[in-house]
Amino acid sequence: MSELQSAEAEVLEARVRGELARLGIAYETIVCRPDQADTAVFCEVFGIAPEASVNTILVASKKEPKVYAACLVLATTRLDVNRSVRKELGVRKASFASFEETERVTGMLSGGVTPFALPEGIPILIDGRIRGGELMWLGGGSRSLKVGVAADDLARLPGARLVEGLAVVAG
């Protein structure tokens, strides 16, 4: 990681920690190498069950003006973009945002996108399976930090709502 990337990561991580503190959400962190940030690798290296790992995926409408949503799904599920997300966004067609678009819109590095400290106006859609008091692990804004929070605390984020059937079991 270059010095510039390292400095950007520190700023992103500080922003995420600041937002969690502002919201009064208790959290834990795991510092990892950028090559350990992808979900499967992270879970394997740190002994985290995939059922306790949450992916934050930016989805965009196909037509302008673009409509976005940050979707939170368990690592063991697959986001249902064509039905659930499209319906929630109120658009005819939606797709996963590209890595470049995700970084531009969220200001976060792909592989570390988190619902904490997203730009205002981006709704957070949380799959209904993500609830309870269990510790869930998400990106920390960069590829060097993972954040663990209680599942129920995710619903406390500004603009967040639980959506039953947002994801389907991967298989």
Residue range 133-152: average pLDDT? 95
How high is the pLDDT of residue 2? 52
pLDDT tens-place string over residues 40-95: 999 999 999 999 999 999 999 999 999 999 999 999 999 999 899 999 999 999 99
Distance (Å, whole) CA 153 – CA 133: 8
Q: Domains of the chain: which residue ranges?
A: 3-169
CATH 3.90.960.10 given to domain 3-169: yes
Beta carbons of 19 and 116 less than 8 angstroms apart: yes
Q: How far is CA 75 from CA 50, 102, 127, 151, in A?
A: 5, 19, 11, 14
